[in-house]
Amino acid sequence: MVASRAGGGGFGTRLQQAVGKRGRLCVGIDPHEFLLDAWGLPNTAAGAGEFGLRVVEAAAGRTGVVKPQIAFFERFGAAGFTALEAVLGAARDAGLLVIADVKRGDVGTTLEAYAKAWLEVGSPLEADAMTVNPYQGFDSLAAALELAERLDKGLFVLSATSNPESTSIQTARRVHGSQLGATVAGGIAKRAAAWNADHARGEFGSVGLVLGGTVDFDLLGVDLPSLGKAPRTPVLAPGFGHQGAEFARIRDTFGEATESIIVNVSRSVLAAGPDRITAAIDEQTAELEDVLS
């Protein structure tokens, strides 16, 4: 059995501590081709790696959480993963919590292998949490849930995403199983909250949800108040900036789940460029704190 890197209350407690110390802003590490060009970096694995290291340097001490989007490294093949390993290591060394945005989903030992790649202590790709896709059934996540709990790591489960193409699937009603009649998105959210109720060792659970900042949660059937009850279900909220969600509307959008939220920003910060990214992080952190205070 591999020992946990962190003791105590697990990922939920570490996330709560990071949020309490550095605020609720999560900085995406997304080396898009156009951003590499704007930063004066080559569209190569080395360029993506340099970009990621600069973002880590800018985020360290300013925010508590970063989220590398793995696709922008994976596109360069093995060299991209080598670059990513360096970025993940630098983020850990800087004391940042790392959410690997990998959106893995499968069954049995296949998902277990994915979880070991991204969560196991000592893995070259080790992160503090990973995003997972439950659309083969929430119970298909069992191996990842068990591994995350054992290693004091976290999962963020896709529930109500901010892309408009998802609405037809995520609003569909269940005709079988424990969440009979619930929407797909709402049922997933209930299962995550139930897992935290059964397993959390602190105020925050270690299994969070991905809930987009641009969606209608009434339409999606997500019970936001239940996510704000102790133990809180962490909410990773993308969609701010480029996709149209606004800090000023967070409380209106997320209601009683607002105190559980981690707000992801990517292009709106990264587009500031290497000379202004630190200022952009500080500005958005201050704006977010003002809205949520």
- Residue 9 confidence (pLDDT): 62
CATH of domain 10-288: 3.20.20.70
The pair of structure tokens assigned to 154 is 């976290």
Domain coordinates of the chain in residue numbers? 10-288
What proportion of the chain, given as a percentage, has pLDDT over 70? 97
**Confidence bin at 177 (pLDDT 50/70/90):** confident
* Catalytic residue flag (residue 103): yes
226-249 confidence digits (pLDDT tens): 999 999 999 999 988 777 789 999
Q: Stretch 192-203: mean pLDDT, rounded?
A: 94
State the pTM of this model: 0.95
Give me the catalytic one of 21, 67, 103, 229: 103
Spatial separation of the C-alpha atoms in residues 199 and 205, rounded to whole Å: 8
- By the 10 Å C-beta count (0-12 exposed, 13-18 middle, 19+ buried), 107 is classed as middle
Going by the DSSP 8-state scheme, the letter that residue 241 receives in this structure is: S
